[in-house]
Every structure is written in C-alpha cells, then in structure tokens.
Structure 1
Amino acid sequence: MIILNKYSACTSIIIGKKASTDGSIMIGRNEDCKSSWPKHFVVHSAKKFKKENVFKSNDNDFKISLPLTRYKYSATPEWTTKYGLFEENGFNEYGVAMSATESAYSNSQVLGYDPLVKDGIGEEAMVTVVLPYVKTARDGVKRLGNIVSKYGTCESNGVLFADKAEAWYMETGSGHHWVAKKIPDDSYAVISNQLSIENIDFNDKENYLYSENIYDFINKNNLQTSEDDQFNFRNIFGIRDVDDTKYNNPRVWYGQKMFNPKIKQGPKEHNMPFVRKAEKLLSIDDAQRFLSSHFEGTKYDPVGDGEENDKKMFRPVSLAKTQEAHVLQIQPKLPTSIGCVQWIAMGVAAESTFVPFYQGIDDTPEQYKKGEINYDPNSAYWIFKLAGVLVDAHYKYFISDLEDLQKEMKILIRQNMIKIEHQYKNKNNAWLTEKNNKLAEKILQEYQKFAYRIISKSTDFSPLNYKQNLDL
C-alpha cells in the first residue's frame, strides 16, 4: 500500500567552504506550506533525563526512545503541536546544523517493493529526535539513517546537515532505504522537491553513506536503470513527469543561472546536475538572495513585466506560502558560539529580512516565541508578514519602499555583527543573548514603523476616493 502524504514544498541550498567568500559552510531552505501558518523560534536548553526520554508523534503513531542526555539546540517549531512539532532547523551545542526537510517523491515501482511506512518517522519529528543527540554532521546522517532503516519513514525527503568540517545532503527514497552525499568543498547545490542525488560510489565511504542493504535491494528487484552498473539514485528512486517541468526544474535552473550564468540550459530540463562549481565565490548574501528569488530578470517573474502566461508559468523559489526561510552559516575560524549563525527570515523571504542569531544565545526574543493562526501585533512572524501583505496590496507602488528598508536592515545587521563579534572575546553567553536579541528587536521595530507608514500611504488608494473635475 502506498501512503500519500501532504507534502510541504521547500527549496534548499548548500554551499561548501571552498565555494564561499569567507570559508563558511552554508545550508539553507525555504519552509513552504501555507500562506498563513505562523512559526516560532526557540532555544531548548541541555537536559539530562532521569528515567525515560520517549518521543511520541502527534502526526502519526511514530514512537522512539531517545538518549537520556539531550544537548542544547535551537529550532523553529509550528505555532501548534496538533499536527506535530515541525522544528525544521537549528544548531546544537556542538555546532551541528540540521534542516529538515526538502519534500520529494519516489516512483511507484520502488514503493511497490518497499512502501512508505504509515507510522514511520516523518518531517515533523526529524530535527527533534536527531539534532539534540549528535556531535557531527556525519553522525546526524547515520542517526537518522538508522532510524529510517529500523522504523521506516512515512515520506520521501531530503535532509541537510553541516558542521565546521563538511556539509551533507541525505535523501530517503522508500520506506527503509536512503543515501547521503557529502557536498564537495568547492561546490554548491540547489534542490527543489525532487530526489536529486545522482551516482553513488559504494566503495567511497568518505563521501557517501547509505542504507545497509540498498545495493542488494536494487539488484534483487531489477531496479537498475544503467547498463554500466552506475548506481544513480535519482533515476532509480525518483520520478520525472510534466509537473517537474513547471514546478521543480525551473527553480534549480534559476539557482544555477544565478551562480553559473554562462551555462546554457533551459528551465524545463530534467537532467541538470545536482552539484556544480560556481563561477565566483558565494557569500551569505548570495544564499539569501537565492532563497528570496522569484525569477527576477526573466519573463517568468510573477511580479515582473512579462506576459501574463509567462509570469504564471513556473513556481518561484520565494512565494506566499513560505512560513520562514533560513540559512545556517558555519564560520570554522570563529568560536562555535559566534561562528555558527542561524539566519531567519520570518514569512516570505522576498519581503522579509534575514535576522542573524548566534549559536551561543540561551534564549530568543519574546516576539519570536509568539504567534497563532490569527494576527498578533506582538509576534515576529506576523510583524514581517504584515509588511508583506501591505506591500502586496499595491506592489508596484510600495516595493521600492520595502527594498530600501531591507537594504537599511542589511547595513544595520552587518554593523552590529562586527561590534558583537569584536567584543565577544571576554564576554559570556548571557551578554551575547542580550546583544543579539536587542538587534532582533530593533529590526522588528523598524518593520512595525514601516507598516505604519504603508498603512498611511495606502489610505489614498480607496475605491471610494473622488477627485472633483473643476471644469464642470
């Protein structure tokens, strides 16, 4: 029996340390689900359990016993636990970064032999049962892989891991089988709701990890698609259909167009490579720019000047259904507390601002822990969301105002980060928490002021306006 799930529809990016301008490793993703579905941002303190530490999912009947020691970690859970936690992304106290998940789809032939498991682990549980219990990115892949192999998974997904040494991308392709690839240090990858990992080298344990019996599973069930014995995970486990040409492929195309503009390929092409070397070194701004993109500079931009059919042809990277976007940046030359930065843009990335939060903070601003399904003026999610909604109502008139604000916030953030990182040497995490949260609160205040100005400007757009003709 094939179990069908309601998937979120995210977009991811991974950048290796030799591919970045400052030696950073970066993993990032847009968490897309509903246009109005608030997220929170929290820090869970380390904890030692005296008896049992059991996780029980609210989404299905997945249940697992966890280690008695839980490391400190950050996360962005949903506003409600009714459908599960969906903690989605964060750092733990060892500087391990995790983002879960990039929803994907497996073909019916593979699922016929190894169906998805109704009560297996899913997206909503992955960060919660993995991130607080691992010390390296590789350990994260192995822990999640062992859980999938033992308990099964209810979904096909991609999961991002990183630490100061390396970045990994892991994919679950059926009920119990998975693979993972270490992203080359000099390369990047962009992913969009497809199984993307290509050839697996079973003799290279340094750069590939995989479920124990996957090779035998392929051969036993005659699933191999290549005559030269190459194991191409994308081809064997994935799907390729017309929906990909409208929904998934164009996002990969645009990301690769941004970072490799000289390469000739079209937005509908199926076989774009999973990993590429960019034409220039990439910065944190490049990662955020990709997650905020909507085909700017092409006829496919939904808020551009193209023909209506073209503007509606492809699904953009940044869209109204984004709940939050994040980039987890690891700067190996800095102490973990300030070298690991969780950049979070609440709401639609294109209309929000990526706010930095250092791994060493012990708490988050109160506004980031608030927000339910109805608008709350004291919620960070809703403060950023309100600005976007107000701009959307008269987009061409107000987008330049929003872009000016975003530029001002980037400058403000950089100036504050330079001061914080310079002064942190002789300070503790309580000091870091105070300084970081003050910066975050300042950005929220500026967005609130912006909303007030746009409300005032919008009053003149009422359809009940009347301009008298003095010639009558």
Structure 2
Amino acid sequence: MKRKITTSTVLLLIITLVLSGSTFACTDIVVGKNASTDGSVITSHTVDGRYDSRIQIIPAQDHKAGTMAPVYENIVYADHKDLVKLGEIPEVEHTYKYFHGAYPYANEHQLIIGETTIVGAPETANSDEAIMTIEQLEVFALQRCKTAREAVKLMGKLAEEYGFRESCYRGECLTVTDPNEAWVFEVFGVGPMWTKDSGKPGAVWAAKKVPDDHVTVVPNFSRIRKINPDSEDMMVSDNYLQVAEELGLYDPHSKEEFYWNEVYGDVKGETSLRLWRVYSEMAPSKSWDYNKAAEYPFSIKADKKISVHDVIAMFRDTSKDSPYDMTEDEGWYYKDDDGKMIKSVYATPQADDDMRNLLDIEYYRPIARYYCSYFFVSQARSWLPDEIGGVVWFGLDNPENSPFIPMYVGIEDVPTSWKTLNRDKFDRDSAWWAFAQVDDFVNLRYGELREKVDSVLNPMQNHIFELQDQIEEKAMILNITEDQDAVKELLTNHTNSLMHWTENRYWKLADELYYEINNNNN
C-alpha cells in the first residue's frame, strides 16, 4: 500500500497527535438476537468526554410539502455551544418521535443507534463543503427509518450526497440495531478537494451485519476488515476502491489484499484493552493476544448467551483482576511502620493524567471512565410492541458508579432535572451533578469508599432489574385492551419515578461521602 505525503497530511497528523489524549473515548458493545439470553438485539454507548447529556424527546411531526430540514453542527455540544446551520435538505412528510442527545440514539420503532469515533487515514479529511456530521445523520435516520437496514442505506446516501463532515479524528462508526438485526456502519470523508458540484460522492462507507449469534465491540477503531459487496450481510459505497486509489491509500495493482480497516481505518498495529477485555470475558475459552487486537475477528460467538445485565456489567468494568488493573500498579503501594507493603486508599482505576504522572502509573484504558457524560445499553425486542419492546438503560456520568435506568421508547417525558445541564457551575437542579459528585468523591478515597457506593448502587440496580418484568406485564395487559395512551402513561411514570428516586438518593449519597472525605473528621 502506498501513501502520498503532503503538507496537509502532515498537518493533520500533528493535530491528531496533539488531540490523542482524548481520542480513546466511546465504547459500543453489540449483541445479536440469537446471542442474547432473551432474544434481545443489544447495542450500547459510553459517551466519553464533555457532551450534551440532556434527554430530549422530540415528538413525531407532519411537514408540509416543500419544507426544508436544517443541517446543524455542534449538536454534540448543544448544552454549551450554539448550533451552527451548515445547510438544509428536503424534509419528509412525516418524521418519527426520537430521543435526542449529543448523539441521538432511539426512535419510537425500536431503531436504536450507538456511536464511537474511529481514527482514520489523514488523507480522508473532507472540505468545508461537506455538511453531514455523524450526529446529524443519526437525527435523519431516527426521524425517517424503522429498521437498521433502512437507516444504514439512508445515512450512506445522505453522506455521499452532502459530504461527510468528519470529526478531528476523521472516521465515525455507528452500531445500528432494530428488533431483528444489528449493523456496524463506518464512514469516512473522501479528501479535502471534494465539492458538491463535482458530482462525486462526498463520503466512503461500509456496513456489516453482526451475525445473529455473535457479539462484537467497537472501541474507537475500525472493525470492518474484508469487503464483500455481493453479500446480503454487507453494504458498501460504490466508490470505496476508487477513493482509496485516488488518495494514495491503496494500489490496486499490488498483490496486497484490500482490508477496509487498514486502508481507511489506519489500524495496523492497533491495541485495545477494551476489545481484549470484552472478547476475553465473552469467550474465555479462546486465547486473545492483547497486542493483536487489530487482527481480532469482526465478531465472535460467545461461550454462553449474553444478557443485558452482562453488558451493563461490562460497562462498569475497570479491568479488575486482570494484568491491566491500574489499581494494582506499584505506584499505589508504600511501606507501613512495620515495613510491610500497603496499597494506598487512594488507589483508583479512575486516576487522571496528573495522578498517573505523579506516581508513574502505566495507563490502560478501561471501559468505565470518570469523564463519561452519559451512557446506555439498549434492548430491541421483536416479540413486544414497540412502546414496550424498545428500552434504553440510561445513566449519567461514570457507568462504574451510576445506575442504569430503563427508559422505554414509549415514554413521553422525563423529569426536568434530566433535561437540564450546566457544567460550568454546580447545579442542584441538574441530575447530572448528583451522579458526577458521587463519582468525584468516591475516587478521592476509592479504597475506603468503593464499598459504601456499592452498598447503595447494587441493591438499587437489582431492584430496578426486578421491576422490569412486573412493569412490562402491566403494560402488556393495557396493550391488549388497545389503550395505548395508558401504556405510555404507565411507562412514563415508571421511568420518571426511577429517575427521581435514583437522583435524590445520589444527592444524599454525595453528602454522606463528603462527610467521609472531610479532613476535619479524622
């Protein structure tokens, strides 16, 4: 494979290196319907970084002929930055209700989407004429599509027509699910010289179906490897080879095989603790080499079927009891008065850069991180009505220390505090601050306070799990009577009551933890 090195390429590479400290962010775990314990299709998303965690439920709407739909930038930062209109496209007659956040994630038909930014070849960086950001593509898919296949095709078409406006890391991945299928959709730009008037597609993309009996994970790098345009389980833009040749990413006359994730995803030699950890936990019967993550199969068959609870547990994972458990780094240990080596109560898997640099702790990026804005693990279920079958287990801040709340796609509203966010000042009217404060406090004396948080979180989460069957049975009874308004009211009240309860308990827990860490109490 050959690369054309230009001044712009070098500049983009420098930018990537400067920003690499925050590159390794969001994680998506995906489970096919025959791989899950109950037939659910599961996707998920940790939204790591400072992003808009407000829950906004955008109602279904009808539109007059000739209406135009705006295309925005800064959707991911809308809690603290103004939206910038980049353009517009023709509106459709009817748009579906959907759940809007930094990365919009679900609609009323159980179409659910996770996102994870992926590093790509610098040459794919697009021009300013490209307007389709990944979050705007999600909006249009959720507004206009009922199935994952429909969504992939629509997003690919819109990215080609209007140009994919990539993030600073250049590539994007969406894990797109419905009650029957799960797809991994990856998209890149086609280079800085693209213009809409050129008549050429403004994006290159590929999508691969996760086999029904498999699981996969996307940890910020491309997972699609071999391209087979003739397969029913793969979709790809017609220009994928042409663009690779034009940008100098691939020589079709060479004897080298075309691998999507090497050509566009730039993954050669990539390692990933998160990918290693998930595959090792899901299929421990196999041997997984941490240093060869880029060569792992796209998806695997787990040793046993996976429940939504198992995926939630993975989202709380900090690599404990593995060779990459940062709490076991020797930097945390000191000698007591008797000369015995003791682990400090400050030892935490959530140590920031300053703490790791001070103690010379080697960094291994686990799934659960302190800088997460929000997260979810979802279920799409074919045997249930959409209002009940689609559930997004949603939470705020760090998934290690926060509860997952079932938010059904049939609900109509959430508490005001879950729609409110100001991260530039402490705000007791915002639910996010309750969970963020607990996470901050526990990590100040993790060795002592972890148990206290677990004593609240674990019974709380188990109780929430236990309520799922009960509330869904009641909802199904109402559904049989065709009282859809009553179904939505029941589910809305259930989700809202859990959000109020968990938020209030976490405000109290934060006060309890503050007492424990107050240095005048010793």
1:300-319 matches, within 5 Å, as 300-302=324-326, 304-308=327-331, 312-319=362-369
1:18 is paired with a residue of what secondary structure?
Answer: coil
1:412 is paired with a residue of what secondary structure?
Answer: helix
CA contact 1:201–1:231 (8 Å) conserved in 2: no
User: Which residue identity is paired with 2:175?
Assistant: L
CA contact 2:261–2:267 (8 Å) conserved in 1: no
Residues 164-201 of structure 1: CA distance to partner in whole angstroms, max 9, x if unpaired? 11011000133310000010000011111111101121
CA contact 2:329–2:361 (8 Å) conserved in 1: yes
* Equivalent residue, structure 1, for 2:265: 238
- How big is the shift at 1:456? 2.6
* Partner Cα separation in structure 1 for residue 366 and residue 251 of structure 2: 33
2:138 to 127, 130, 135: 127
2:502 is paired with a residue of what secondary structure?
Answer: helix
User: Which residue identity is paired with 1:11?
Assistant: T
CA contact 1:292–1:317 (8 Å) conserved in 2: yes
CA contact 1:200–1:230 (8 Å) conserved in 2: no
1:251 to 274, 278, 285: 274
* Equivalent residue, structure 1, for 2:376: 326
Structure 2 residue 412 is the aligned partner of structure 1 residue 389: no
- How big is the shift at 1:117? 3.2
CA contact 1:224–1:231 (8 Å) conserved in 2: no
* Equivalent residue, structure 2, for 1:470: none
* Equivalent residue, structure 2, for 1:82: none
| TM-score, structure 2 normalization | 0.79
- How big is the shift at 1:154? 2.4
* Equivalent residue, structure 2, for 1:57: 72
Structure 2 residue 302 is the aligned partner of structure 1 residue 278: yes
Specify whether residues 274 and 280 from structure 1 end up closer, same or farther in structure 2 by C-alpha distance, changes over 3 A only: same
User: Which residue identity is paired with 2:440?
Assistant: V
* Partner Cα separation in structure 2 for residue 397 and residue 278 of structure 1: 35
- How big is the shift at 1:227? 7.2
Residues 61-81 of structure 1: CA distance to partner in whole angstroms, max 9, x if unpaired? 6323232422111122xxxxx
1:180-219 matches, within 5 Å, as 180-204=207-231, 206-218=232-244
User: Which residue identity is paired with 1:278?
Assistant: A
Structure 2 residue 26 is the aligned partner of structure 1 residue 10: yes
2:281 is paired with a residue of what secondary structure?
Answer: helix
Specify whether residues 400 and 16 from structure 1 end up closer, same or farther in structure 2 by C-alpha distance, changes over 3 A only: same
User: Which residue identity is paired with 1:141?
Assistant: V
Specify whether residues 136 and 361 from structure 1 end up closer, same or farther in structure 2 by C-alpha distance, changes over 3 A only: same
Q: Which sections of structure 2, spanning at least 5 residues, go unmatched?
A: 1-7, 75-83, 191-202, 332-358, 479-485
* Partner Cα separation in structure 2 for residue 63 and residue 186 of structure 1: 41
User: Which residue identity is paired with 2:208?
Assistant: K
1:290 is paired with a residue of what secondary structure?
Answer: helix
Which range is displaced more, 372-381 or 357-366? 372-381
CA contact 1:90–1:328 (8 Å) conserved in 2: no
* Equivalent residue, structure 2, for 1:443: 502
1:75 to 91, 100, 104: 100
Specify whether residues 465 and 420 from structure 1 end up closer, same or farther in structure 2 by C-alpha distance, changes over 3 A only: closer
2:112 to 97, 105, 109: 97
* Partner Cα separation in structure 2 for residue 222 and residue 354 of structure 1: 42
* Partner Cα separation in structure 2 for residue 116 and residue 370 of structure 1: 34
2:47 to 20, 31, 48: 31
1:367 is paired with a residue of what secondary structure?
Answer: helix
| TM-score, structure 1 normalization | 0.87
- How big is the shift at 1:12? 1.1
- How big is the shift at 1:457? 2.6
Identity of matched residues, %: 24
User: Which residue identity is paired with 1:261?
Assistant: P
Residues 360-396 of structure 1: CA distance to partner in whole angstroms, max 9, x if unpaired? 0011121210121122112121111111111111111
- How big is the shift at 1:38? 5.3
